Amino acid sequence: MSVGSRQASVASSWLRKRSKQQQQQQQQESGEIEVKVGKRRSMSTNGHATMKIGGQEVHAFNDGDFSRVRGLHGLEGTEFLSSISFDEMEAGGGKGGMMMAFTEDKQYIVKELNGADHGSLLRIAREYADHVLSSEGSLIARVFAHFEHAGHNYMVMNNWMPPPRIDAIDTTKLRSLNLSTNYSQYDLKGCADDKTLKKMGGKIPAVHKRIFNVPLWCGHAFWTPERTKYYEGKLHARQVRFLVSPSVHKEITSKIDRDVKFLQRWSLMDYSLVVSYHVLPRSPGSNLILDKVYRATSDHGEQPYIAHKDNQTFICYVGIIDFLQDWTTAKIIANVIKVAERNKATIPPNPYGDRFAKFVAHKFDPTCEDGDEPPVN
């Protein structure tokens, strides 16, 4: 069978499946639906729950499921979202440009959802909550609420890359150490879309080679300094590896393997692994910095992962985001159009997940000592 025939067959099979899913979603939005996944069933319901976010009353979807996730993280009610202002939301850095806002402490994010992502979250709510609440662990972003406000749909999630709490210590005693520039952040998929978000604390804005940006297609000599910096960040993201201990490597790969199977089961793809990676010189005072600046920002006490090698300490936050992208008709068409493109993001959910899991296992280098020192009182 030719490549084109195989892609046409995959497209036809997916369209039949998608039609059934859309019918289920329409039923769910009007009330209650039971969604079958293999031999398991996921019961989700809109209900008629309301809650207050940023002082505004909003309509919540499936809050029986998401309240369980909040409960695990010790979040009672929605007071932790009181600093959110819908009027001050800004476009995110992704290609979709959906609106988003951080809470004042930068621990949580309210993000607008497009129609497809909203539909995916409606479909998977019950199974998603069961998955992230399992004792086996998960690195998928924690969704604490899914709601509608003023005709737009949103979700509330944890921030996998919290900023260091530099104000928690006396920085005048750090000498030459600058906690604002000792880290880099990455958005990784295991393909040509990998990129550096921040390098040495400095933000790297995305400058894509869009079809209308003709000069960017005419060779590096025509690139702007911003495009060159972005491209160099992409190369760095492909090459960098993260030092962790063997036990942390085992934990990360185990959780990723489990998460990938869950996402494949729901035909989801195009998700990213975000990594915030900090480096400290190892010294008698480094344990105080770890506890006050980094451990104080961890989500439910599970992160960051800390490791030591020689005279350095490595602090790593890691998690999966943007996991609601369904294998849509548009993605199938893009896959066909980009048939000659190598290492692309737009591939079906099963090969996407397999590649992602293999990539993550390689990206983390298990050659460090474990860094679990006792907390400093």
User: Tell me: the pLDDT tens digits for 279-289?
Assistant: 999 888 788 89
Q: What is the percentage of the chain residues whose pLDDT exceeds 90?
A: 61
Q: What is the largest CA-CA distance in the chain?
A: 68
Residue 346: per-residue pLDDT? 80
pLDDT-based confidence at residue 42 (cuts at 50, 70, 90): very low
Alpha-carbon gap, residue 105 to 249, rounded angstroms: 29
Mean local confidence (pLDDT), 155-177 = 88
The pLDDT of residue 174 is: 79
- E strand segments, 205-301: 242-243, 272-281
Mean pLDDT of 6-33: 50
Plot region of 42 (φ>0 → left; ψ -120 to 50 → alpha; else → beta): beta
> What is the per-residue pLDDT for 302?
80
Q: Which residue would you say has higher pLDDT here, 117 or 18? A: 117
Q: Point out which residues pair with 23 in neighbouring strands.
A: none
Instruction: Taking residues 146-169, report their average pLDDT.
Output: 94
Q: Considering only the top CATH level, what class is 3-158?
A: alpha beta
Q: In whole angstroms, what is the distance from residue 32 CA to residue 45 CA?
A: 5
Q: Is the predicted pLDDT of residue 175 greater than 70, yes or no?
A: yes
Per-residue pLDDT averaged across 31-47, rounded? 41
| Residue 31 CA from chain centroid, whole number | 29
| Torsions phi, psi for 263 (to 5 deg) | -70, -35
Cis check: omega of the bond before 284, within 30 degrees of 0: no
Name the band, by pLDDT with cuts 50, 70 and 90, for residue 38. Answer: very low
Is 317's pLDDT higher than 50? Answer: yes
Global confidence as pTM = 0.84
Q: pLDDT tens digit string along 111-125?
A: 999 999 999 999 999
pLDDT for position 293: 92
Instruction: Please determine, for residue 328, whether its predicted confidence score (pLDDT) is greater than 60.
Output: yes
Residue 58 has which token pair?
Answer: 């909003």
> Is residue 59 packed enough to be buried (19+ CB in 10 Å), middle (13-18) or exposed (0-12)?
middle
How far is it, in rounded angstroms, from Cα 254 to Cα 250?
A: 6
Structure tokens at 280: 């400290």
Q: Which of 42-46, 69-73, 177-181, 369-373 has the lowest mean pLDDT?
A: 42-46
Inter-residue contact 171 to 164 (CB < 8 Å): no
Instruction: Detail the DSSP E strand segments found in the chain.
Output: 32-37, 40-45, 50-53, 56-60, 90-91, 99-102, 108-113, 143-149, 152-158, 183-188, 195-199, 202-203, 242-243, 272-281, 305-309, 312-321, 364-365, 369-370
- Count other Cβ atoms within 10 Å, centred on residue 21: 16
- Strand partners for 32: 45
pLDDT at 88 over 80: yes
pLDDT in tens, 127-156: 999 999 999 999 999 999 999 999 999 999
Confidence of residue 335 (pLDDT cuts 50, 70, 90): low
- For 181-191, letters b (16+ CB in 10 Å) and e give ebbbbbbbbbb
The overall average pLDDT reported for the chain is 83
**Torsion angles phi and psi, residue 370, rounded to 5:** -65, 145
H or E stretch covering 355: helix 349-363
d(C-alpha 31, C-alpha 44), whole Å: 9
What per-residue confidence (pLDDT) applies to 32?
A: 45
- The token pair at 178 is 């600058």
pLDDT at position 95 over 80 = no
pLDDT in tens, 247-279: 999 999 999 999 999 999 999 999 999 999 999
> Between the CA of residue 241 and those of 122, 149, 182, 236, 277, what are the distances in Å?
36, 41, 16, 10, 10
Q: How many whole angstroms separate alpha carbon 212 and alpha carbon 69?
A: 43
Question: Exposure pattern of 112-122 as b/e (b: 16+ CB <10 Å)?
Answer: bbeeebbbbbb
DSSP string computed for 255-282: HHHHHHHHHHHTTB---EEEEEEEEEE-
Quote the pLDDT of residue 81.
95
Residue of higher predicted confidence among 216 and 79: 79
d(CA 201, CA 180): 6
Domain extent listing, the chain: 3-158, 166-370
Residue 43 has pLDDT above 80, yes or no: no
Alpha helices in 30-163 (DSSP H): 63-72, 115-133
